């Protein structure tokens, strides 16, 4: 697994980079060599924040932890990612879909932040994400949404051949948004 380690408001020392690489290498038994882990280490006041995103074929592993110590935050984010992997492996095993994470082929992910935009607009877009839409059914989309810990998920519906959005409702159920071009 390749690693792209970046710092925001912090200088990435060799010791910090080595520690991050060593701890994340624990995940290599689950992830193939073609995958690239995007790691952002940042300091915001007293908080040391670690964000890790690992895109795989059909799955995006993501962990984010903030604490008082950068090294402790790195340890916690690795634990969080291991739990996500185990949860996903269990779901794959139960549903008999796929051959596991080790055989997954990496997708490319682009994360560019536009923080330097000086135009003070009321509806200022501060982040744009691009990602590949993998055809899946509604159940897989809900599984992905829950795995990421999000409240909505955009996906390409394999049955309707349209882009849909699943979302978690306040009552605990799920909703589906389908486009209507009429």
Per-residue pLDDT of 100-128, as tens digits, reads 433 433 333 333 333 334 445 567 888 88
Cβ-based neighbours of 171, under 8 Å, separated by 6 or more: none
Q: Name the helix (H) or strand (E) containing 134.
A: none
Tell which wins on pLDDT, 134 or 158: 158
Cβ(19)–Cβ(71) below 8 Å: yes
- Region 25-52: mean pLDDT is 87
Label residues 77-86 b or e (16+ Cβ within 10 Å = b). Answer: bbebbeebbe
pLDDT at 100: 42
pLDDT for 19: 95
Q: For 10-113, where are the alpha helices, taking DSSP H only? A: 14-24, 70-95
At residue 49, the pLDDT reads 94
Helix, strand or coil for residue 109?
coil
Fold classification of 2-109 is Double Stranded RNA Binding Domain (3.30.160)
- pLDDT above 90 (res 98): no
Of 65, 19, 56, 66, residue with least CA distance to 131: 56
**Statement: the pTM of the whole predicted model exceeds 0.75:** no
Question: Which residues does residue 62 pair with via DSSP β-bridges, in sequence order?
Answer: 53
Average pLDDT over residues 13-26: 93
pLDDT of 90 above 60: yes
- What is the rounded average pLDDT of the residues 35-62? 88
Residue 70 pLDDT exceeds 90: yes
CB count in 10 Å sphere of residue 136: 20
What's the DSSP call for residue 139? Answer: H
């Amino acid at each position: 697994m390749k690693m792209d380690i970046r710092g925001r408001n912090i200088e990435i020392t060799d010791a910090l980079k080595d520690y991050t690489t060593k701890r994340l290498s624990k995940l290599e038994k689950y992830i193939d060599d073609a995958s690239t882990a995007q790691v952002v280490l940042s300091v915001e006041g007293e908080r040391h924040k670690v964000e890790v995103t690992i895109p795989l074929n059909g799955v995006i592993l993501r962990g984010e932890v903030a604490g008082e110590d950068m090294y402790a935050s790195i340890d916690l984010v690795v634990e969080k990612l291991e739990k996500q992997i185990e949860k996903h492996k269990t779901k794959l095993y139960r549903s008999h879909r796929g051959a596991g994470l080790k055989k997954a082929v990496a997708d490319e992910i682009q994360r560019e932040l536009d923080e330097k935009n000086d135009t003070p607009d009321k509806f200022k877009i501060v982040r744009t994400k691009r990602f590949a839409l993998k055809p899946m059914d509604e159940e897989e989309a809900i599984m992905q949404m829950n795995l990421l810990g999000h409240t909505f998920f955009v996906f390409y519906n394999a049955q309707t051949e349209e882009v849909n959005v699943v979302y978690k409702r306040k009552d605990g159920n799920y909703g589906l948004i389908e486009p209507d071009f009429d």
